[in-house]
Amino acid sequence: MVSEIEITPCGPIFGSIRPPGSKSLTNRALIIAALAQGRSLLTGALASEDTEVMIESLRAIGVAIDVDDISHTLRVDGNGGQFQGENTEMFIANSGTSMRFLTALATLGQGTFRLDGIERMRERPIGDLIKALQQLGADIQTESDNGCPPVLVRAQGLPGGKATIAGNISSQYLSGLLMAAPYARSEVQLEVDGELVSQPYVRMTTQIMRDFGVTVEENDCRRFVIAGQQQYQARQYAIEPDASAASYFWGAAAVSGGKVCVEGLTKDALQGDVGFVEALRQMGCEVEYGKDSITVTGGQLKGIDIDMGEISDTVQTLAAVALFAEGPTRVTGVAHNRHKETDRIGDLACELRKLGATVEELEDGMVITPGTLQPARIETYNDHRMAMSLALVGLRQPGVVITNPACTSKTYPLFFEDLAAICQGA
């Protein structure tokens, strides 16, 4: 792909789109189908770097996965939770879900597993998950003492028992523990210690576990009891389009003053990020929930004060929209965004300032005061969401250049093609 893209401004965008499959659901369904006994068919799956590294890692432990790129279907022949490692290496690039879910899964096998990723992955914390797995009897550690990957697992199956898990840095630790727990030798009791960020992802985890036939007792998203020696039931499973990806198209309607319908998502979607449209409604957009779609119509935009702790992957999208609003927008509740693909508070503030905004950084968010927009060369920090969100600014402001646009391949390889296509009707 080209080394940079200049976004062409366009008029109001009217169109509809079905984004590719959800990253979060694809990677959960892959973990669960891999542990099930028998064949599962996952339809509507995402094909991107984050799912690719998950698939390759599962193949490394003997799970046969056939990818049909045309129908977006994955055929997974699960190993029933029986697998061996012989110094098995899993290279996970910068996929947080893969790193956290596969670390928990690896403890169920027999033998040695090592999980590693790119440089940034070696700065993304995993220590709290390691501690919880140790409480459940796993022999597991990080290679260095900074609490980040690489992770080494000397697995002999997971004994089970009680563990507390911190939830203030990432909910993915809890999701990983939950999905592995039914394969422990005895009951697993999990208790969240302190704040739990990104809660909707945990609800997504328990729902998909139940959909694949295991029981999970749950008390207010704080305490969980999972009987040991359960088995996921292989099945056909339909994956929703990605709601975080959808945010860019809803955002495009907002900044361009058009109307965009995202197909395949509803208010009842498993992904909490559909809640992003309610933030747009607060800012002045119109939102219509259809039977199988959600449509956003742009309006007179005003700044808002919002806690985005439950929908943190859409902070950058909201920030892009905020540049076109009247008055400041204050985002809070997202301290954990500093540990994602990049520091999504500090680095986002820096790029927003280049575009002409005044940004005050908070410990857990930022206050964005729009100014006179100006052309800018946007640094993407190898963060797909920096590229996709700030591209929206270029739909109105000439001279917005996105560097390293190929970084969208983490979750959305064809993002710029899809954005151009929907703009063509504008």
Ligand X SMILES: C=C(OP(=O)(O)O)C(=O)O
Residues involved in catalysis: 313
Binding window for ligand S3P (CB under 6 A); candidates: 135-143, 197-205, 217-225, 282-290: 197-205
Nearer to ligand S3P, 259 or 340 (CB): 340
Residue (107 or 312) nearer to ligand S3P, CB: 312
Q: 177 vs 21, 100, 104, 149, 248, CA distance in Å?
A: 24, 9, 6, 17, 31
Using CB under 6 A, pick the residue from 95, 172, 295, 329 that binds ligand S3P.
172
Q: Is 103 in the site for ligand S3P (CB under 6 A)?
A: no
Closest CA to 352 of 311, 382, 389: 389
CB-hemisphere CA count at 13 Å for 60?
22
| Choice from 312, 314, 316, 329 touching ligand S3P (CB under 6 A) | 312
Nearest residue to 178 via CA among 19, 28, 354, 346: 28
Asked whether position 340 contacts ligand X by CB under 6 A, the answer is: yes
* Shortest reach from residue 166's CB to ligand S3P, in Å: 12
Question: Rule CB under 6 A: is residue 313 a binding residue for ligand X?
Answer: yes
> By the 8 A CB rule, do 255 and 10 touch?
no
Q: Does 411 contact ligand X by CB under 6 A?
A: yes
Instruction: Pick the binder of ligand X from 95, 103, 380, 389 (CB under 6 A).
Output: 95
Instruction: Choose among ligand S3P, ligand X, none what residue 95 binds, the Cβ cut-off being 5 to 8 Å by kind.
Output: ligand X
Confirm if 284 and 302 have CB atoms less than 8 A apart.
yes
Cis check: omega of the bond before 370, within 30 degrees of 0: no
Q: Is 408 in the site for ligand S3P (CB under 6 A)?
A: no
Residue number, 94 or 198, with CB nearest to ligand S3P: 198
Does residue 88 interact with ligand S3P by CB under 6 A?
A: no
The two three-digit tokens of residue 14, written as one number: 């009217």
C-alpha closest to that of 276 among 303, 305, 240, 243: 243
- Residue closer to ligand S3P, measured from CB, 312 or 404: 312
Strand order, beta sheet including 73-79: 64-68, 73-79, 37-43, 236-238
Q: Does 117 bind ligand X (CB under 6 A)?
A: no
Which residues are bridge partners to 116 per DSSP? 91
Asked if 384 touches ligand S3P (CB under 6 A), the answer is: no
Q: Identify what 272 binds: ligand X, ligand S3P, none; CB under 5 to 8 Å per kind.
A: none
Q: What is the largest CA-CA distance in the chain?
A: 61
Smaller CB distance to ligand X: residue 234 or 308? 308
* Of the candidates 230, 101, 107, the residue with the CA atom closest to the CA atom of residue 174: 101
- Residues at the site binding ligand X, with contacts judged by CB under 6 A: 94-97, 313, 340-341, 385, 411
- Residues at the site binding ligand S3P, with contacts judged by CB under 6 A: 24, 96-97, 170-172, 175, 197-198, 201, 312-313, 336
